[in-house]
Amino acid sequence: MLELKDVCFTIRKDGTEVNLVDRVSLKVPKGHFMAIVGPSGCGKTTLLKTIAGLNPESAGGLYWDGRNLSEDGDFLPSEIGYVPQFSIAYDPLTVDESVEAATRLRVRCRNTTELDHRIDKVLEETGLSAIADRPVKVLSGGQKRRLGLAMELVSDPKILLCDEVTSGLDPRSEREIVRLLHDLSRKDGRIVLSVTHSLAHLELYDSILVLHEGTLAFHGPPEKLTHYFSVKDSEEVYPRLATQTAERWQSSWQKHGPSYYKMLEHNRELLISSGSLHLPADQPPAQERSAPEPENEGEKETAPPPASAATTLPMPGFFSQFSTLLSRRWRIFFRDRAQVALQLAILICFPILVTLFSDKAAGNIRRFSDTRQTDLSVEIQEQQNVRADQAKVGSAVSGIIMFQVVLLALMGSNNSAREIAGERPIYEKERFAGLRPSAYLASKVAFLACLVIAQSLWMAYFVNFFGQFRGDFMYHAGFLLLINASMTAICLAISAMMRTAEQASLMSIYLVGFQLPLSGSVLALPESIDAFTRPFISAYWAWSGSVESLQTQVHDAVKSVIDTSLTARTSCYYTLAAHVAVGLIIAWAGARRPQWD
């Protein structure tokens, strides 16, 4: 049994506390199908999220099988399923692949046979077997709702919470979904709570809960709804609610509620006696447990373990979730033709852009003569020639190195700016279902690491093939790898902290845009500003380290045309490595922080 006792959820608005859920009390027995209805903004979704544990109750208590969820621990991931209004599947995957990934992330199957059996079972239950090979992106609204249900049913949840799963559907699809939810509530004593704005198909529900401004105005049999509100049609209920304050409706319900609960108990007994409702064998058929209360205040009773604990499914381990996520990410990547084309275009075009300027950096730098010239004009001409060569080659080499650095910073931004923010709703839903943030972030790092290595090494070797790097090539390649890795990690952190992909992309673009001017490689910044900004500019450290890896003559040529002081190679390596570490730490913090809409 699910029981709520005077549950409140309070927020602070304009300096005052507002109860979005106000002292709601109710009992929902197993095998029950309940609709939560009410006008827009009355607190339906807020109540559902409070039951799910997404909104911590501000007062009151929630009990599940006699267990106080506030004190004894929340629902186990396998005990509860939550179906949000938005799609929780990736468009490039098929129906079967989506359900398979959900199963691998939520249930530890002993072998492939058990996995296939569980997948086939939920596909058949939700009527998706015939379209199992169809991509998610071509599904209709009703089919996507069925898929969302299927992805929750893989763990056999004992309580299923559905948030507006019928919104936006045509009348036929809406009735099919409501009928499906009704049938799911009749199996294994599963409780199904469905938030809906629609007052159609009420006859399929066991009870209707009406909310008004966060308070409970009615909870009883659907056939008694119009009688209680003294209206002729259910569509008149919402206008009727507006005629009285929430406090008056709450007071009225407290007076008349017990008689309607007796009707619900009577209807339940009829369902059980007729065989329409099947309860688990270990559950009492007509009476369910409520929250245990010791007889004496000083006496403690040991409550029996909940029946659901015996059937709790084991969660998959870290490496199982990691491999599932990584495999799914590569599958999505290769099926997104636009993304693959963009990556290939970047991989091919960016190095070609750099090589267009490589000839300018290949020029010779004349040396000063070992013998002193007797003719002053000849000596002056010689100095001018050397300085001209240094200016030409030094500026070209410095520019090409910074060009590579900025392009790889742009690649890093493109790699990860939308990686987490773009799929945040799906991630939050999977995390609610038991996904480890560590496994999720590790899969992202592994995927992005492959892109970083391929992009950086290809850039280094391609440019070196057409115009040899005039210094220690391995050091230069290492710095290119680190600038890409640091920018990828930092933009991944931005993606993890932002609420939307658009915000993350915009912040990442700004970050890359400021790399060149703040690096000081083009124009030296004032010392007071430079000392503050330099530690945070990844482009400077990659550029400076690469310049320090040049041959002595070329290095001197570069230094002759820049005003910015350079830093030792080792310091550049450590600083870029620190940027990578800081980015990953912030990404970890962002991945752990709940951002459920």
Give the confidence band of 396 by pLDDT, cuts at 50, 70, 90. Answer: confident
Q: Residue 306 pLDDT > 60, yes or no? A: no
CB burial of 286-300 (b: ≥16 within 10 Å; e: otherwise) equals eebbebeeeeeeeee
Amino acid symbol at 348? I
Predicted pLDDT at 72: 82
The residue ranges of every structural domain in the chain are: 1-79+160-279, 82-156, 318-365+376-592
Q: Residue 581 pLDDT > 90, yes or no? A: yes
CB burial of 242-260 (b: ≥16 within 10 Å; e: otherwise) equals eeeebeebbeebeeebeeb
What is the per-residue pLDDT across 533-576, written as a single tens digit (0 to 9) for each? 889 999 999 999 999 998 887 888 888 778 788 889 999 999 99
pTM over cut 0.85: yes
Q: Distance between CA atoms of 292 and 67, rounded to whole angstroms?
A: 8
Predicted pLDDT at 301: 41
Protein fold of 1-79+160-279? Rossmann fold (3.40.50)
| Phi, psi for residue 362 in degrees, rounded to 5 | -95, 0
Is there a contact between 561 and 391 (Cβ–Cβ < 8 Å)? yes
* Average confidence (pLDDT) over 91-117: 94
Is there a contact between 147 and 173 (Cβ–Cβ < 8 Å)? no
* Average confidence (pLDDT) over 54-78: 88
Q: Dihedral sign, CA of 419, 422, 425, 430?
A: negative
Is there a contact between 186 and 276 (Cβ–Cβ < 8 Å)? yes
Predicted pLDDT at 381: 60
Average pLDDT over the chain, rounded to an integer: 87
Is there a contact between 306 and 67 (Cβ–Cβ < 8 Å)? yes
What is the per-residue pLDDT across 480-497, written as a single tens digit (0 to 9) for each? 999 999 999 999 999 999
Q: Residue 293 pLDDT > 50, yes or no? A: no
